[in-house]
Amino acid sequence: MKDAFGLPQSLLVLGGTSEIALATVRRLVARRTRTVWLAGRPSPALDTAAEQLRGLGAEVRTVAFDALDPESHEAALGKVFAEGDIDLVLLAFGILGDQAHDEREPLNAVRVAQTNYTGAVSAGLVAARSLQAQGHGSLVVLSSVAGERARRANFIYGSSKAGLDAFAQGLGDALHGTGVHVMVVRPGFVRSRMTEGLAEAPLATTPEAVATAIELGLRRRSETVWVPGALRVVMSALRHLPRTVFRRLPV
Ligand SMILES: NC(=O)c1ccc[n+]([C@@H]2O[C@H](COP(=O)([O-])OP(=O)(O)OC[C@H]3O[C@@H](n4cnc5c(N)ncnc54)[C@H](OP(=O)(O)O)[C@@H]3O)[C@@H](O)[C@H]2O)c1
């Protein structure tokens, strides 16, 4: 069960090697999280992540999970929930893709959409059902400011995040009053493996800053979290710019 401050004792990460997710788990383990499940594609990186968290005192297990194989999601998540209650599910998997390349190779673009959107629809619904069955818990979904308004430079990724964001908001409304809380997290540019080698966007942040914002959001039982918080205002302005102006911005 969560403690009086809304922080979890047990959690499941979908996308177990995500730098943002691991920064969040480290922060929560330093509070009171004891049981951690890392779900991801089996790899040395997944095993290393588990080992490092064990070194911090958590009981950590890994489970095979592939966002691109929705038919396996019930079994993968079922295995975790069968072992005991999960206070927090962190949906952290995602790929950025390569916009210019993916525009020329539509099947690559489809892979971005299937990972970020379809995979999340499936895993999100399976997780939500299990959380609802136990009657409590939070589902935290890593969306992105990229979904707030599609940009020329990354509209394939952006549109997949727009779909994910709308899905997660609707799911949050569907679960309102059931004891299950859905929190949509919208980071801007985060310095992680995903953005390595890319030119930094204004207001760039770190996985640790996202982790801090997630912890605060859990304590407050927030529905939406922007990281950094100033992006809420910036994106609200950008969202309302006329297309002709927005198109000319160097974003
Ligand atoms: N970095 C940013 O600037 C930024 C900004 C806003 C939102 N986000 C979102 O935050 C989340 C985490 O990003 P991050 O920065 O922590 O990036 P990251 O370190 O690259 O993590 C991405 C994660 O997605 C997993 N993944 C990719 N395809 C998968 C699949 N088919 N099945 C299962 N797992 C899969 C990766 O696992 P493998 O180890 O198997 O590849 C990895 O665990 C993503 O959803 C991302 O879109 C990131």
182-192: pLDDT as tens digits: 999 999 999 99
- Calculate ∠ Cα 215-220-221, nearest 5°: 90
- 10 C-beta closer than 6 A to ligand 1: no
What pLDDT is attached to residue 43?
Answer: 98
What pLDDT does 1 receive?
A: 74
* Number of C-beta neighbours around residue 108 at 10 A: 15
pLDDT at 49: 98
pLDDT at 86: 98
CA distances from 79 to 4, 10, 69, 130, 141 (A): 28, 15, 16, 11, 21
Q: Region of 187 please: left (phi>0), alpha (psi -120 to 50) or beta.
A: beta
- Report which of 200, 191, 198 is spatially closest to residue 100, judged by C-alpha positions: 198
- Express each pLDDT in 58-88 by its tens digit: 999 999 999 999 999 999 999 999 999 999 9
226 lines ligand 1 (CB under 6 A): no
Beta bridge partners of 173: none
**Residue ranges, the chain, pLDDT below 70:** 4
Q: What is the pTM of this model?
A: 0.97
Q: Say if ligand 1 is within 6 A of residue 113 CB.
A: no
Tell me the CA–centroid distance for residue 29 and ligand 1, in Å.
21
